[in-house]
Amino acid sequence: MVIVTGGAGFIGSAMVWKLNQLGEREIIIVDELGVDEKWKNLTGLNFIDYYNKDDFMEMILNETLPFEFDTMIHMGACSSTTEKNADYLFDNNVRYSQELAKYCMTHRMRFIYASSAATYGDGADGYSDDEKKMFNLRPLNMYGYSKQLFDLWLYKTGVLEEVVGLKFFNVYGPNEYHKEDMRSVIHKSFQQINLSGEVKLFKSYNPNYKDGEQLRDFIYVKDVVDVISFFVEHKDNFGIYNVGTGKARTWNDLVISVFNSMNTPVNIKYIDMPEHLKEKYQYFTQADMSKLRRAGYQKEFYSLEAGIDDYVKNYLIQNKYLDSK
């Protein structure tokens, strides 16, 4: 039995899809569906049952879960990098995660959770996933800080070597459609091209980077769930790991790939960045992937062009979700 919290969300639902591809059907999904269209991510997936997050937490706290499980994949969190309610982020991303981790540790269940590359801040201290360097990191937003607080709590309580934390970089792919402003630039670009034939990108305010030449490590969601599956299977690996490609690419590269996949002439317009983002903007991110490779993960990652081509042609153009049938 596998529990996937946030199982109706972007990466969570993709993980359920991956488990289905591997023949796994005994899956419990935990989430909070709300009023958006996140529920559509579930329609093509195979799982046993769904529990509301609050009901699930009550059962965790009261030790009244009506089932046993082997692994919890904790993807449930507020993933908005612009969320300003610090108390909400602390309760949702720190306290909630702490209770789930304690339950899994007490009952000797495998606990795999989503950290974030947002913990690295502006990258001044690099992008190494060496746990001993965590104390030097200075996130640029409260979302990143909430993820950092949970990472540090695990380290300080001495259980980090009993769990697996995954620092996701810029993830894109099918089933992100409900995320509104937190959708990838690929999805936003696809919509912009359909509407106007052009894509708008932020100008650069750093003299070391030309407009559109800011660099990020973009990773396809199918690679992400392959990495998570690796840790589900290899139960002797623990600690925090980066999940990126290890190859930074420019926003121009990304958008040009979307235009090419749509067989449309390239037309990019550079616009002013909102003032509130300028001090929190990351100009360069690139995952150090050596630790994951040392752990035994050998599969090659999608190139940016290959990932975007699959996403655009097989999902966006066809208006499709990940489907296990």
- Just list the catalytic residues: 143, 179
Of 265, 274, 252, residue with least CA distance to 198: 265
Of 5, 14, 64, residue with least CA distance to 225: 14
- In sequence order, what DSSP letters do the residues of 24-50 get, joined into one string? ---EEEEE--TTSSGGGGGTT---SEE
| 299 DSSP assignment | P
* Tokens matching residue 164: 């697996």
In the block, tokens 């208006």 appear at: 319
Helix axes 96-106, 53-62, angle to 10 degrees: 40
244: left (phi over 0), alpha (psi -120 to 50) or beta: beta
Beta bridge partners of 114: 166
Contacts of 1 (CB under 8 A, 6+ apart): 26, 27, 28, 48, 67, 68, 69, 70, 71
Whole-number Å distance between alpha carbons of 86 and 94: 11
* CA trace torsion 88, 31, 10, 277 (10° rounding): -10
- Per-residue CA distances from 138 to 103, 145, 146, 201 (Å): 29, 8, 11, 26
Strand positions, DSSP E, 71-198? 71-74, 110-116, 164-168, 170-172
Whole-number Å distance between alpha carbons of 196 and 32: 35
User: In this structure, which amino acid lies at residue 149?
Assistant: L
